[in-house]
Amino acid sequence: MPVKIRLARHGRKRYAYYHIVVADSRSPRDGKYIERIGSYNPNTNPATINLNFDKAIDWLGKGAQPTDTARAILSYKGVMMKKHLLEGVKKGAFDEAEAEKRFNAWLTEKEGKIQAKKDQLAGAKADASKERLEQEAKINAERAEALAAKKAELAAEAEAAAKAAAAEASGEEAEEEATEEGTEETPAAE
């Protein structure tokens, strides 16, 4: 029975996550499987991978063949590196202590890269939010200035209208006084 390590799709439309399973190659993609050894969620950044490392090594040792995507995931988590080092130990190229030392060095380097990517993404997100806040503050300041200018303009118009009304009122009073004086003078002149 040819055994494959592959992905079984789960989740809703356009938001899939996958189970990493060991299955008979003749069974359907989401059908019956022998054992589930992990999960893969590509919707997060970086992708979330949970993997039972020992079971994956065991199945690879038994001859299970990973699909291309499963191989990439196993390689990312270090399973393929560990398998390679264990085969070197079997061939006598080096001992187990040396294999463990090499694997731990590789693992720390890989974790450093992953952490650097997470830090970069967090920094980019923080920078984007800071820039967005600055733009929003700039727009709010422009709106406040425009509103203040509009209020000043309306106040100036109201003041001008009040002055014009006062001038009209004083002008009417002057006309009334002039007409009153004129009426007083006309009878005296007669």
83 and 27 belong to one structural domain: yes
Q: Is residue 140 part of a domain?
A: yes
Residue 46, preceding bond cis, omega within 30 degrees? yes
Q: Is the pLDDT of residue 135 over 70?
A: yes
- What are φ and ψ of residue 78, in 5° steps? 95, 5
CATH code for the domain in which residue 34 is found: 3.30.1320.10
What average pLDDT does the structure give for the chain? 89
Residue 189 inside a domain? The answer is no
Are residues 88 and 129 located together in one domain of the fold? no
Please indicate, yes or no, if residue 176 is contained in any of the structural domains: no
Q: How far is 183 from 148, CA to CA, in rounded Å? A: 51
Domain of 101?
Answer: 95-167
- The pLDDT tens digits for 37-55 are 999 999 998 899 999 999 9
Same domain for 80 and 12: yes
- The DSSP secondary-structure symbol of 94 reads S
Domain end residue (candidates: 93, 117, 142) = 93
Element spanning 39, H or E: strand 35-41
Tokens matching residue 167: 């001038």
Quick check: is 190 in a domain? no
* pTM over 0.85, yes/no: no
User: What is the domain count for the chain?
Assistant: 2
How do residues 103-124 score in pLDDT, each as one tens digit?
Answer: 999 999 999 998 998 899 999 9
- 100 and 119, same structural domain? yes
CA distance 14 to 169: 75
Residues 89 and 7 in one domain: yes
In this structure, the answer to whether residues 88 and 31 fall within a common structural domain is: yes
DSSP for residue 64: P
CB-side neighbour CA atoms (13 Å) of 31 = 8
pLDDT digits (tens, 9 = 90+) for 141-163: 999 999 999 999 998 888 888 88
Are 107 and 29 within one domain? Answer: no
Tally of CA atoms within 13 A in the half-sphere of 138 that contains its CB = 6
What pLDDT does residue 120 have? 92
